[in-house]
Amino acid sequence: MARLLQALFLTASAGRALASCAYGTFLHPRAEGEEVPVATFGYTGVIGPHNWAALELPTNNACATGTRQSPIDMVANVFEVIPASDVTIEVNDMPDGADFENLGSTVEVITQGGTLAFDGKTFELQQFHFHLPSEHLDNGTSQAMEMHMVWQSAAAEIAVVGLYINIATGEVTTNITAPATKREITSRSRLFGKRQAQAPVAGATGPTTLLETIFSVVDQISTPGTKVKTPPLVMSEVVDLIKAGSFQAYSGSLTTPPCSEGVNWRVSTQKLSISPASFVKARDVIGFNSRFPQNTPGQPNILMVSALGSAAAAVSLSSTPAKAA
C-alpha cells in the first residue's frame, strides 16, 4: 500500500508542473463581443468533482492527486492569521456597470481593475464569482454562499480572496439606529403598509449593497453562456469591510479544474450578507456549485485515499464466500 501511494505521489508531482501551464486559461476578461464559454465540468454525476481528473488528463491530474487542494475546513492550525492592514487591497468602482456572465459552473462578474499586494508581490483583480453553498467551511460550518475574488500577478501567480456570504437577518432598507418615532411609523405605514414599520432587530445585519445590486439581474442570465450588464457597482463597501478584518491565509489550489496548486488563499474573517429574496434568485440560477472539502493541506489527496479504500473493499468482496440464499 505504501509503495502504491508513493507511485501515485510521483505521478502527482509531475502533474502539478503540467497543471501550472493551464494557469490563466479562464482568468482573463474576454474581449468585447466574445462569447461566454460554458464549462464542461460540473458538480454532480460523472462530470462532478469526484471525476474531474479523468475529464482532461493530464491537465486535471492535480484534482485527484494534489496534496494541497482547496477548499478545506478552516480549522485552527491549517491557516495563518494575517491582519488586513498587512495587505494592500484596492478595487475600482464600475460606474457603467460590469459584465455578469453565466459560465454554467458559476456566475461571474468581470472586473475593471484592482490591486492586491502582500509579501512584495502585486496581483491584479481579474473577476469575482460565486459558490453556493460556501466551499470553505468556517470552522466546520458551511455558509450560504462564498464569493471568490481572483487576482493574478505578472508572473501568473494566483491569489484568491474568499468572502463568506450569510443570509441577512436585517431588512434591506434598514439603516435606523434609533427606534422610529410614531409619526415616522405612521407615514411609512401609509407608504409601505404596516409590515414596513417594524423596528430592525437588534444586532441584525442588513444585506451587502454590492450583492443586492449584482443579484438584482441574475435572473436575466439563467441560461449558461449568457451575460448581462449589471447596474453601477460601488466596490468600497466590500473593500472597507475586508480592510476592517483579517485574513485566514494558506497555500491551496483552484477549486475548479485544473485544480492547480500554489494558489495564495486569503479568506476574510469579515462576512457579506444577502437578503433571503436575492439568495433565492441566486440559488435558482447557480443551483449547486461547491467542491467537497479536501483533505488537510499536506495530507494525501482524499480521492487517492478513497481509491485505495475502494480497491480494498473490492478485494474483500471477491474473497468473501457467497452466502447461501
Q: Give how many residues touch ligand NAG by CB under 6 A.
A: 4
Phi and psi of 143, rounded to 5°?
-110, 165
Instruction: Say how far apart CA 283 and CA 155 lie, in whole Å.
Output: 35
> Does residue number 77 form part of the binding site for ligand NAG (CB under 6 A)?
no
| Positions 115 through 144 that interact with ligand NAG (CB under 6 A) | 139-140
Nearest distance in Å: CB 128, ligand NAG:
24
Within 13 Å of residue 50, how many CA atoms lie on the same side as its CB? 6
Task: For residue 69, count CB atoms less than 10 angstroms from its CB and return exposed for 0-12, middle for 13-18, buried for 19 or more.
Answer: buried
Nearest distance in Å: CB 61, ligand NAG:
33
Rounded to an integer, what is the distance from CA 225 to the centroid of its chain?
19
Handedness of CA 52, 53, 59, 62 (dihedral sign): positive
Helix (H, G, I), strand (E, B) or coil at 68: coil
Taking the least distance from each CB to ligand NAG, the nearer of 149 and 210 is 210
Nearest distance in Å: CB 75, ligand NAG:
6
Which of 177, 181, 316, 318 contacts ligand NAG by CB under 6 A?
Answer: 177
Nearest distance in Å: CB 79, ligand NAG:
11
Nearest distance in Å: CB 140, ligand NAG:
6
Phi and psi of 298, rounded to 5°?
100, -20
Nearest distance in Å: CB 218, ligand NAG:
24
Nearest distance in Å: CB 269, ligand NAG:
10
Whether a cis peptide bond, with omega within 30° of 0, leads into 58 is yes
Taking the least distance from each CB to ligand NAG, the nearer of 79 and 100 is 79
Taking the least distance from each CB to ligand NAG, the nearer of 45 and 140 is 140
Taking the least distance from each CB to ligand NAG, the nearer of 25 and 139 is 139
| Positions 28 through 47 that interact with ligand NAG (CB under 6 A) | none
Taking the least distance from each CB to ligand NAG, the nearer of 33 and 140 is 140
Question: Can you name the residues that pair with 268 across neighbouring β-strands?
Answer: 247
Taking the least distance from each CB to ligand NAG, the nearer of 177 and 319 is 177
| Positions 139 through 158 that interact with ligand NAG (CB under 6 A) | 139-140
Question: Can you name the residues that pair with 151 across neighbouring β-strands?
Answer: 125, 159
Residue type, 115: T
Rounded to an integer, what is the distance from CA 217 to the centroid of its chain?
20
Within 13 Å of residue 62, how many CA atoms lie on the same side as its CB? 28
Taking the least distance from each CB to ligand NAG, the nearer of 99 and 138 is 138
- The residue written with cell numbers 439581474 in the block is 217
> Does residue number 175 form part of the binding site for ligand NAG (CB under 6 A)?
yes
Under 8 Å between Cβ of 63 and 258: yes
Nearest distance in Å: CB 143, ligand NAG:
14
> Interface residues with ligand NAG (CB under 6 A)?
139-140, 175, 177
